Amino acid sequence: MKRGDKMNPAHKNLILKALDDEGVKYNKVHLKLMGTSRYAVTVNEEFYGIFDVNKNEFITREEC
C-alpha cells in the first residue's frame, strides 16, 4: 500500500482489535495511512497513537 490508497479492511480490523485488547472505549475511530504500514489513530476526536500493521502494535515516538 502507498499513500492515497484505500485502506485495507484487514488493517482496520487489526487496529480495532488492538484497541479492544487495550480496553479503550471508543465511539468514533479515525485512521489515516502514514506511509505503507503505519496508521495514525484518533479515538473520539483525540489522537491516540500510531499503529504499525507489520508489528501489530502501537509504537512509541522513539520507534518512529
Print the domain residue range for 29: 9-63
* Residues listed for the chain: 64
Per the structure, the count of domains in the chain is 1
Complete DSSP assignment for 51-62: EETTTTEEE-GG
Q: Does residue 46 lie in a domain region?
A: yes
What is the reported pLDDT for 2? 57
Pair 49, 28: CB distance under 8 Å: no
Q: Does residue 21 lie in a domain region?
A: yes
Which residues, other chains included, contact 15 with Cβ-Cβ below 8 Å and sequence gap of 6+?
Answer: 29, 31, 39, 41, 51, 53
pLDDT exceeds cutoff 60 at 21: yes
What is the reported pLDDT for 61? 59
Q: Does residue 2 lie in a domain region?
A: no
Which residue has better confidence, 9 or 20? Answer: 20
pLDDT category of residue 34 using cuts at 50, 70 and 90? confident
Q: Does residue 26 lie in a domain region?
A: yes
